């Protein structure tokens, strides 16, 4: 196909995810002309895949899966490249009754060994029977699967030459649809188990929340292994028969303005991203040619923000830069969600833009209350973006440490209930029980209600989010503790908010040597190890021995360590650099 799939279907009425299962949603979408389009870093159309062609190819490959020994309920690991092959394999699993497990590609990670370790952990923890990968990533996958007894490790082309067989049936509404691994811990992977019913309920609610219409067209650079890319701009759009134009994530990182050019040329109406994606565009625009770009962003009605704490100054800066090219800041649509709820939990009203709430820092920290203060230069307040109303048919409660519901503007843990809540963490009942009780999910986040809208203020969990990626502090600490001179409990990792509102990953490291040159070498080694093993550039701060606090059970008290450092109770040592 030499041209992209159209925005509108000629004769197929719009349906918003009112299907029992995902295969039935694709079967319906295949009756129209819309579909998915894949672009290069320069904005050139590489491949157009209509929903009709996707369905036909996936049905054929499903027979290869059956012929290769896959049976209903088997997990199939898929390296989630932004390409038609991933989608064909994903939906082939759906038609065969298998459970796809999207995994990151090497370009999304740092060190080779760390990447191989991550995908091996995901393959083994999911119990995958088969791994499908692009040919260029085969060396990584071969090493990751060494010694595992799998039905096949190969590319989509390899899968297609397997014998074909009939007999497997697609899953029902209460069967698992896919497993979603977050980009968090490499040592303790958790696969979020999502049923067809979970998915359809959430997709229907999200489509309704942003008023999806037959004239909408999506544009996305978000990776398919992330919930916002997989669900928000693939499954959610397919279940509403919405055409989407894709730019691979790594190409967006190199040429972010291509995102806006595709949106402009194809009259895209919906596109989401974390704050750092908008910031990257603003920065690149400033360093681009002095010649004004040929952009018309006036069709962009839903400029979604999510995936990390929303930075209002970054968003306002983006609006200032691109307002001359038709962008309206009323298009900003703040949202909140997480993979454990499929994706969406709350959405702002479309067309309103960002609603900000400026509250007292002291009341936030001391009394866990969101007390309004003037937004001035005094430095006494923090500004948060209101993330909108909870999706229909679902409930959010803000609770204190004793589990009691809190009133408006009282800050506590965010709990969520409804049919979008995951089935659990696959094969990990202990982790499931820790966050899911009586149908209520403890999201691990902190927030409050403003009228009937949700505001998120941070994560009670220890997850570190840097440029839209999740990092477990345990992985960073473990990397440091494995060094010859280090011991268990010698490191505490967290993020610190800088003056510009960005989060800086930081490691406190207990240091025994007193020699300044030795300390300097230790600082450099820790920084290099973490960059190499975890793929994260951190500030390294040496502190005296026996400084980092522990819990009564002897575990690192990470939150207390951060608070003690900020208060000055923990003082840094001279590092010599």
CA dihedral 83, 187, 468, 75 (to 10 degrees): 30
CA 235, CA 68: separation in Å to the nearest integer? 26
**Segment 530-559 mean pLDDT:** 80
**Residue 310 · residue 276 · CB < 8 Å:** no
pLDDT for residue 425: 96
Return the DSSP state at 391. P
**Range 141-178 burial, b when 16+ CB lie within 10 A, else e:** beebbeeeeeebbbbbebbbebeebeebebbebebbbb
558 has pLDDT over 50: yes
- The pLDDT of residue 400 is above 50: yes
Neighbours of 286 (CB within 10 A): 8
- % of the chain at pLDDT higher than 70: 93
564 pLDDT higher than 80: yes
> What is the per-residue pLDDT across 363-393, written as a single tens digit (0 to 9) for each?
887 788 999 999 877 777 888 999 999 999 9
Please report which confidence band the pLDDT of residue 62 belongs to, taking 50, 70 and 90 as the band edges: very high
* Global confidence as pTM: 0.84
**SS3 of residue 62 by DSSP:** helix
Which residue did the predictor score with more confidence, 114 or 269? 269
What does the alpha-carbon distance between residue 450 and residue 396 come to, in Å, rounded to a whole number?
13
- Return the beta strands (E) in 386-536 as ranges: 389-390, 395-399, 412-417, 424-425, 436-437, 440-450, 453-459, 464-466, 469-471, 491-497, 503-510
Q: Which CATH superfamily is 472-567 part of?
A: ANL, C-terminal domain (3.30.300.30)
β-strands 152-154, 130-132: how paired?
A: parallel
Whole-number Å distance between alpha carbons of 299 and 260? 11
pLDDT(504) > 80: yes
pLDDT, residue 462, reads 66
- Lowest mean pLDDT segment, chosen from 4-13, 270-279, 459-468: 459-468
Whether pLDDT at 193 is above 60: yes
- The pLDDT value recorded for residue 290 is 46
Same fold, 355-459 and 472-567: no
Lowest mean pLDDT among 9-23, 193-207, 439-453, 454-468: 454-468
- pLDDT at site 457: 87
| Calpha distance 161→57 (Å, rounded) | 14
pLDDT at 554 over 50: no
What are the residues whose beta carbons fall under 8 Å from the beta carbon of 480, sequence distance 6 or more?
Answer: 486, 490, 491, 507, 509, 526, 529, 530
pLDDT number for residue 577:
43
* Mean pLDDT value across the chain: 91
The answer for 211, left when phi > 0, alpha when psi is -120 to 50, beta otherwise, is left
Q: CB-based contacts of 333: which residues, under 8 Å, 6+ apart?
A: 210, 272, 302, 303, 304, 305, 347, 348, 350, 388
> How does strand 244-246 pair with strand 218-220?
parallel
CA 122 to chain centroid: 16
Q: 44 is written with which tokens?
A: 């050139």
pLDDT band at 552 (very low <50, low <70, confident <90, very high): very low
Residue with the larger pLDDT of the pair 178 and 567: 178
Output the CA torsion 72→73→77→83 (10° steps).
60
Predicted confidence (pLDDT) per residue in 107-165, tens digit: 755 578 878 988 999 999 999 999 999 999 999 999 999 999 999 999 999 999 999 99
Q: Torsions phi, psi of 263, nearest 5?
A: -60, -40
Written as six digits, the tokens of 445 are: 């986040």
Do β-strands 270-273 and 302-305 pair in parallel, antiparallel, or remain unpaired?
parallel
Label each residue of 498-543 as H, E or C.
CCCCCEEEEEEEECCCCCHHHHHHHHHHHHHHHHHHHCCCCEEEEE
**What residues does each domain of the chain span?**
355-459, 472-567
Over the stretch 297-316, which tens digit does the pLDDT of each residue have?
Answer: 999 999 999 877 788 888 99
Residue scoring higher pLDDT (2 or 108): 2
3-20 mean pLDDT: 97
Give the pLDDT band (50/70/90) at residue 576: very low
Any idea which residue has 């830069």 for tokens?
Answer: 321
* Rounded distance between C-alpha atoms, residue 274 and residue 407, angstroms: 29
Asked if pLDDT for residue 561 goes beyond 70, the answer is: yes
Q: Is residue 463 over pLDDT 70?
A: no
Q: Which CATH superfamily is domain 355-459 in?
A: Luciferase; Domain 3 (2.30.38.10)
Q: By mean pLDDT, which of 78-92, 438-452, 560-574 is the weakest?
A: 560-574
CA-based nearest residue to 226, from 174, 262, 273: 273
């Amino acid at each position: 196909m030499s041209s992209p799939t159209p925005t509108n279907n000629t004769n197929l009425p719009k349906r918003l995810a009112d299907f029992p299962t995902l295969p039935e949603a694709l079967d319906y979408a295949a009756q129209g002309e819309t579909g998915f389009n894949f672009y290069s870093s320069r904005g050139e159309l590489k491949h157009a895949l209509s929903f009709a062609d996707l369905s036909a190819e996936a049905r054929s490959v499903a027979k290869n899966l059956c012929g290769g020994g896959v049976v209903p309920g088997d997990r199939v690991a898929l390296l989630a490249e932004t390409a038609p092959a991933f989608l064909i394999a994903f939906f082939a699993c759906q038609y065969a009754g298998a459970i796809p497990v999207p995994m990151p590609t090497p370009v999304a990670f740092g060190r080779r060994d760390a990447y191989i370790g991550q995908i091996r952990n995901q393959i083994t923890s999911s119990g995958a029977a088969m791994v499908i990968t692009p040919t260029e990533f085969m060396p990584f996958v071969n090493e990751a699967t060494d010694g595992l007894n799998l039905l096949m490790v190969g590319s989509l082309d390899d899968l297609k030459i397997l014998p074909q067989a009939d007999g497997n049936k697609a899953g029902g509404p209460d069967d698992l649809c896919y497993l979603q691994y977050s980009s968090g811990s490499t040592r303790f992977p958790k696969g979020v188990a999502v049923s067809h019913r979970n998915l359809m309920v959430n997709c229907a609610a999200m489509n309704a929340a942003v008023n999806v219409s037959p004239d909408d067209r999506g544009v996305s650079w978000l990776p398919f292994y992330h919930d916002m890319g997989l669900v928000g701009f693939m499954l959610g759009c397919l279940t509403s028969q919405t055409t989407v134009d894709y730019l691979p994530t790594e190409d967006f990182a190199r040429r972010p303005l291509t995102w806006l050019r595709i949106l402009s040329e194809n009259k895209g109406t919906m596109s989401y991203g974390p704050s750092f994606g908008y910031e990257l565009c603003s920065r690149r625009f400033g360093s681009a040619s002095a010649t004004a770009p040929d952009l018309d962003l006036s069709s962009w009605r839903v400029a979604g923000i999510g995936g990390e704490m929303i930075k209002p100054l970054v968003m306002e800066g983006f609006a200032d830069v691109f307002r001359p090219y038709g962008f309206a800041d009323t298009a900003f649509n703040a949202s909140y969600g997480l993979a454990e709820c499929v994706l969406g939990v709350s959405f702002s009203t479309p067309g309103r833009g960002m609603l900000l709430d400026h509250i007292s820092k002291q009341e936030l920290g001391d009394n866990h209350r969101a007390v309004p203060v003037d937004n001035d230069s005094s430095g006494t307040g923090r500004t948060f973006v209101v993330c909108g109303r909870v999706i229909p048919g679902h409930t959010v409660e803000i609770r204190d440490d004793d589990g009691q519901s809190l009133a408006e503007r009282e800050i506590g843990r965010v709990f969520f209930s409804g049919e979008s809540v995951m089935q659990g963490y696959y094969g990990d009942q202990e982790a499931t029980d820790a966050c899911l009780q009586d149908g209520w999910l403890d999201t691990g986040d902190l927030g409050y209600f403003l009228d009937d809208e949700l505001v998120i203020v941070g994560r009670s969990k220890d997850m570190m989010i840097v440029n839209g990626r999740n990092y477990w502090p345990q992985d960073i600490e473990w990397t440091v503790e494995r060094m010859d001179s280090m011991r268990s409990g010698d490191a505490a990792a967290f993020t610190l908010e800088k003056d510009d509102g960005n989060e800086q990953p930081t490691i406190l490291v207990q240091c025994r040597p007193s020699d300044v040159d030795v300390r300097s070498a230790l600082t450099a080694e820790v920084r290099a190890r973490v960059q190499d093993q975890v793929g994260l550039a951190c500030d390294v701060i040496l502190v005296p021995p026996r400084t980092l606090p522990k819990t009564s059970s002897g575990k690192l008290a990470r939150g207390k360590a951060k608070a003690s450092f900020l208060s000055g109770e923990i003082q840094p040592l001279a590092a010599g650099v």
